[in-house]
Amino acid sequence: MKRWLIAALTLAVIAIATWRFFPRTAAAARDLTVLFTCDVRGRLVPCGCFTGQLGGLTRVATLIGKGPQPGTLKVDIGDAIEGTDDFHQIEYRYIQQAFAAMGYEALNVGHAEARLSAAELRKLKTSSPVPMLSANLIDQSTGAPVFDSHRIVRRGPWRIALVGVLEPLGTDESLGEGLIVEKMEVVLGKLLPSLKSHADFIVLLAFADDAGLRNLAKQFYELDIILGGKVKQPSQDLVRENRSLILATTNQSRALGTLGVTLAAPSRVTPVRGEVVLVSDQISQDDEIAALAATYRDEIRRTALAIDDPATLQQDMVPGVKARAAYAGSASCVACHPSAGKVWQDSSHGHAWQTLVARKADADPNCIGCHSVGFGTPSGYRREFGAAKLTNVGCESCHGPGSQHVAERQAGGAMTTHFRPIGAGDCQKCHHGEFSRPFDWDSFWPAVRHGKENAAPAIRPATQAPAAAPVRPGA
């Protein structure tokens, strides 16, 4: 063999050996900002129920910028979907698109997603422009994970493995049909040792509570960063446990996890800052994400949903037990209760439907419930009614269905039924959380206060066409 060839080969062998044994040690340290959400729960846009409301992916987008950026890594830790209904799944597809527009690189599966069936999840996996990850959510029929366990992304010279896991669901929570959750420790025990040779850093997206996150750090030295989670509160501080940095966020898109690190030699992560920042109402809303929300509302308006079908609503009733009363509509109440009617008309409860119409949200089941009468019950508002009846926060939204009361009062005979007393708890069915200013009876009730008529009302109002022979009091 020619001497130069031997020399060249020797050099090549040395080069490969050095590269294998000291991979990337000489590579420059690199700053990376990891940005993450958890518990978005369908909040593509904030509902706008009161001013000063926080959150919404429209604002997250403004805060973190869009598209992929070399110095950042954006991921979601799970519970991005609101619920298991058909409209939640449609909405979730737009949320996936919003994540893609923001340059997210992985969506971990949380408990909310794991309540869907294996078949539904397979569809969402196909539709997602961003890879969905879960190492321990198993398809019962195949015994294999429904999603990829991990993916590897690059930042300069570094290979960063993103691994997804979720804590098993509680005994009272129902996992989706055809799914099994394996223990996180078992799957990670199998996966991490081999993954270590393919990646310089391992970032775990863990839908787990505080104790669960720490336990994972204690058990697996391979984990450089652990992002959570299924926590009650966003992290106050960045935690170091064993070899991992741990940070967690939650709160329905109102809090964004931000972890700044320097990546040096493999597995040498130096924290620069770790905090959870508020997605404040001062942040403007991104037009592209707002447009996705508008397209969702258009699609939902055109789509037939389970909630539109009274037969499916009937099924939720106790079998064999007939509903005591049905919703009669506020117009019939106002006829006999004119002073209560006047207060109601003048309050915003009497115009709550128009609020949704103005936002093109009047066909969105996420909104209709609190801005109409009895939505989701057999005799309540249905989307096919349009604006025709049972819109607004009506008399019966608070007092309950009144058909029997109306019938008995009109008949003028003995009253066998009475409305139940109402208190602050009834108001808080709608006036809670992000949907209301903090509720306080003493300041809220005066704005809508009403009661018995001063003068006893005519049993049958003159304004209403008599359906039977008029009955006059004392006649």
Interface residues toward ligand HEC, by CB under 6 A: 47-50, 328, 330, 332-337, 340-341, 344, 347-349, 351-352, 355-356, 359, 361, 364, 366-367, 369-371, 393, 395-399, 402, 405-406, 409-410, 418-419, 421-422, 426-427, 429-431, 435-437, 444-445, 447-448, 450-453, 457, 459-460
Q: Which of 473, 464, 472, 430 is nearest to 328 (CA)?
A: 464
**Cβ-based nearer residue to ligand HEC, 241 or 439:** 439
**Cβ-based nearer residue to ligand HEC, 196 or 389:** 389
Shortest approach of ligand HEC to residue 321 CB, angstroms?
21
SS3 29: coil
Question: Which residues in 213-238 are b (16+ Cβ under 10 Å) and which e?
Answer: bbbbbeebebbbbbbbbbbeebbeeb
Q: Token match 């060249």: residue?
A: 8
**Cβ-based nearer residue to ligand HEC, 131 or 376:** 376
Shortest approach of ligand HEC to residue 472 CB, angstroms?
12
Q: Which of 398, 368, 401 is nearest to 383 (CA)?
A: 368
Shortest approach of ligand HEC to residue 409 CB, angstroms?
4
Beta strand ranges found along 249-368 (DSSP E): 255-263, 269-278
**Cβ-based nearer residue to ligand HEC, 26 or 388:** 388
What does the angle CA 390 – CA 396 – CA 397 come to, to the nearest 5 degrees? Answer: 80
Cα separation, 169 vs 107, whole angstroms = 19
Shortest approach of ligand HEC to residue 413 CB, angstroms?
12
* Residues composing the chain: 475
User: Sheet holding 244-248: strands in order across?
Assistant: 150-155, 158-166, 201-207, 225-228, 244-248, 239-241
**Cβ-based nearer residue to ligand HEC, 165 or 370:** 370
Shortest approach of ligand HEC to residue 449 CB, angstroms?
8
- Going from the C-alpha of 242 to that of each of 27, 76, 213, 223, 273, the distances in angstroms are 25, 24, 11, 9, 18
SS3 164: strand
**Cβ-based nearer residue to ligand HEC, 208 or 395:** 395
Burial class (CB in 10 A: 0-12, 13-18, 19+), 366: buried
Shortest approach of ligand HEC to residue 429 CB, angstroms?
5
Shortest approach of ligand HEC to residue 290 CB, angstroms?
12
**Cβ-based nearer residue to ligand HEC, 167 or 396:** 396
- For the chain, what is the total number of helices (H) and then of strands (E)? 17, 14
**Cβ-based nearer residue to ligand HEC, 249 or 372:** 372
Shortest approach of ligand HEC to residue 421 CB, angstroms?
4
